[in-house]
Each structure stands twice: as C-alpha cells, then as structure tokens.
Chains A and B, each alone.
Chain A
Amino acid sequence: MTDALGPLLAWADQLCACGPWPMLAALGRMRDEAARASAVFPGRQVLLDAEIAVEQHMGCAMGVCRACVVVTASGNARVCREGPVFPLGEMRFSEGEPATVGLSA
C-alpha cells in the first residue's frame, strides 16, 4: 500500500493517513528514511510533516481512564485527548504495532 505513495509524494502538499497500525508503522519507516535523506528527496517535507489519525480501545473518551494511551516521543499520550491526530514523527512504533509502554507520562 505504501508503495503507491512514491509518485504521489512528488507533488502532494500534505500527507494524512488513517488505517491499520502496520500501515502507519510503514509510513513511520518511510518518514525515518526521509529524515535521513537529503533535502531534495522527493516528498521529504511532506513525509516529515505527515499526520496520522490513530485508533485505540477506549474507555471514557474524557481523558480519565488512560485506556487509550499510545507512546509518543513526548511520553504517553491519550488518543481521546491529545489525539486522535498525531504528527507521524511523534508516534512510536514497535514491530508494526503501536509501541505501548516504556515512557512515563
């Protein structure tokens, strides 16, 4: 699925993604590559600025139960409060799934 992105990245102004975690994780890897590449890498900025909408099992949707947390570069974040849209670069993945624990809130 992410293979289809190549030609689109050359002209796209913005990348927004929503879908299964393995796909989002693949986008995350593309972004990592883009971050290491030179400034002329096609679609580099679009990948760096990409945003993703994520899903998680949710309890209260008010930010109290902490069931829906995902691990980000800035710590545990609640999908219901800080999300559901996150900068792709903030999200931490683990083997195609959201990384879950390791950073404190």
Chain B
Amino acid sequence: MPWRRPRKKVDRPVNVSRAIEETLEELSAGEDDDVCVELADVDGASVVEAATGEADTEDRAPSLLAQQLSRVELSDAAVVAPVRSTERPEDGVDLAVEAARGLRLRNPVLTASGTFGQGVEYAELIDVSRLGAIVNKGTTVLARPGNPQYRIAETPSGILNSIGLENPGAAGVAKKYARAWAQLGVPVIVNVAGYSVDDYVSVVSEFAGIPSVVAYELNISCPNVKGGMLFGFDPDLAGQVTAAVKQETDLPVIVKLTPNAPDVVAVARAIEQAGADGLTAINTVLGMRIDTRKRRPILGTGSGGLSGPAIRPIAVHITYQVAQAVSIPIIGAGGVTSAEDALEFLMAGASAVQVGTATFADPLAPLRVVEGLAAYVRANRLSSIREVIGVALPRSERVE
C-alpha cells in the first residue's frame, strides 16, 4: 500500500496500545504481508489519516505536531492499557525489600530517573507492574527546555549525557500523569530537582495526594544544570534541603548522591542526620568527549554525566563506603544491566537497585534483573533476597 501524505484531521484511534499488541501478535504469527502499514499505524495518527481527507492548509492551528506534543503517551490516560504478564518467574519468591525507611517494595528493582520517562512509554513494551517501583524523569518547578544539542554521546561501556532536565514542570507532570500512573500498577517515586530549597519544597507539594506517588527522590546532583550539583557537594546544603522536604511531606524522602562530591560519605551522613529515609548511590560521573574533526566537545554543554557499566565499580565502591557510614537503606545505581550486577550492589549494602542505561539497549533489562534475582534466591535456597543485603561488608557492619 503506497504511503500518502497526511491530509485531514481525523480522530485518533482511542486504543493505541491495543494496536501495538495486535501488531506484535501479528508479526509473531508471521502475518507480515502488511508490516509497513501496521508499524506506521502504531506510530501515530498522521499515517492513519493518510488514507482519507483533503489538503492540509498552511495555517491550521494547532498543527498535527502540536497536538501530538500536547497529549500523554498513548493518547489519553483513560485508555492506557499497560502490557500485563500472566506467568511471572518471580512469583512465589520473596523479593520484597525496604528500599527506604517506610518504603516496602515487592522487589528491589527500580528504574533510574531519566531513563524511564514517566513510565507510560515503556508500558507499551513491558509489564511495568513487575518492577519494584519506577522513578520518573527529574522534575523542576517550572518547565525546562533542556540543553543544546548534542545531548548524548556513546562511550566505552557507557553513555555520556547532558539532557538538562527537560521537563514540563511539576504542575504539568502531576496533572498529565496522575491518572496514567494509577493505571500502571507500579509505585512511582518522583525525582525532584531544583536550584533552591524552596524549589524542592514546591515540587513536592505539587504531587501531594497522588496515590501512586510513594516517595520522593531528591536530585541534588544533576551535573548538567548550572548550580544543580551544589547541594550534593556540600553536607550542610544537602542537609538543609533534606530537612525542608521532610517537613513538607510524610512520604519517604530519598536523596541521590553525586560521586563528584569531594567527600560523598560526609554528604551521606549529613543527609541521614537531616532525616532522610534513604539514599541513592550514585548519580552520573562527570565526563567529556571531544569531536576531533570539529575540534570541540561533542556535547552541547561541553561536559556531561557518564552512566552505564563503565561507572559500576565506582558506584559499588561508594555504596560499600556509605553503607558503613549510615543506617538508612541505600538504593544502588550505576551500570546495573543484569541480576549479577544487582547482586554486587546488594552485597555491598544496597537494599535495592536502579536499572538505567541498560534499559536503552534492552527494554527488558529491568525485568531480566527481577527474574535473575528470583532465580538466584531459588538456586541458593534463600528464604528471601534480603539475606544477601550487605553480606560483602566487613563483618561488624553487616545488616543482620
């Protein structure tokens, strides 16, 4: 079937996600005679519209693109139909953990902020309700357009990024996704970023009362925003922002540590003393790549944050150090791609892990970690995954 130019505004088909499932089924069943059309149908209304209609006029408002940009993924929260699995390899295995004080999750696998959007995008492909929790994209009080291109560059065993906290603002996110989150069937941890103590408090207040939101993760360590890392560098500032947010909300407050701080352990201690319920270790490591042909840095902002397996040993080490310095739970993050990697963090003292960069290469990576941990518990005849938490720590520091 020849492709034709989109011509007329027609109503978007209501159940887009259903169309995706059907397409996948048809493809797997070998009915691939009309693949191009099917895939195009899934991708957006423009091609659906192509079959009918008349000439598009120049100054129609809002444009097709503007409509696309304003909608929630999968058109409308009311019709989000996330993929659900029936048989789960992790069923019957005790993977429950306390990822932060007062935050008990069904398993220790979370998604890392910035690598899982608002959760609805990957819900088209995987059963997100099998995850322990999802962490949304860093949210600021006001909308941010993000950083200049390029925003991403490949590195050995990792990615360098400088997105710049592009997001529609706290009120926008809360309004747009509250309903969709309720349908995902997975707890949501809101990642909060800001430039002042008041910013953090304001963002948290916007999400008050949304049932799916179970905790906040404070990003006091974004390397890609001017001033974004200051809070994470200074134990006093980190303590101040933690205390202020704790006053604003009754939900658990998790603070994300930056490996770029001169003394991460001191920052972690200050955050614990200020009342935080958990820590995430770690955010990205500062890095840079140069385009030798253009003789300038590849990233638009020059430097960026390195993530992926390249930083895993750094993250495991910081987890190991911080676990000996604080008594609140730690969520390990940095290059987790498999259950084996997750076990490294758990044994180093983390109570949960976040999978981030690995999801880009394999959207199933977070679920593979869940399954792998379940298999490990079974194979080693453990009563629960909690038995391995901190087992690699020096004997006196073990969490019993």
Contact = CB atoms under 8 A, between A and B. Distances in A.
B146 A101 contact: yes
Contacts of B44: 82
Interface in A49-73: 49, 51, 56-69, 72-73
A89 B347 CA distance: 55
Interface string B62-75: 11111011000100
Interface in A35-94: 35, 48-49, 51, 56-69, 72-77, 81-82, 86-87, 89-90
B145 A101 contact: yes
B32 interface: no
Contacts of A57: 149-153
A72 B65 contact: yes
Given A60-B359, A67-B163, A73-B65, 7 more contacts: A59-B159, A60-B360, A65-B161, A86-B65, A100-B300, A105-B146, A105-B167
A105 B152 contact: no
Contacts of B121: 62-64
A101 B145 CA distance: 6
Interface residues of B, number: 44
B268 to A, nearest CB: 27
Interface residues of A, number: 38
A4 to B, nearest CB: 22
A64 B117 contact: yes
Contacts of A2: none
B58 interface: yes
A64 B153 contact: no
A51 B149 CA distance: 22
Given A64-B117, A66-B151, A87 B63 contact: yes
B163 A64 contact: no
B65 A100 contact: no
A52 to B, nearest CB: 12
Main secondary structure of the interface of B (DSSP, over half): loop
A2 B121 CA distance: 38
The 4 closest A-B pairs by CB, nearest first: A64-B117, A74-B66, A67-B152, A100-B148
A7 interface: no
B58 A103 contact: no
B69 A82 contact: yes
B302 interface: no
A102 interface: yes
A77 B145 CA distance: 11
Contacts of B62: 74
Contacts of B118: 64
Contacts of B167: 105
A59 B166 CA distance: 14
A102 B144 CA distance: 9
A62 B145 contact: no
Interface centre among B149, B159, B300 (most CB of A within 10 A): B149
Nearest to A14: B5
Contacts of A66: 137, 146, 151, 163, 166
A102 B143 CA distance: 12
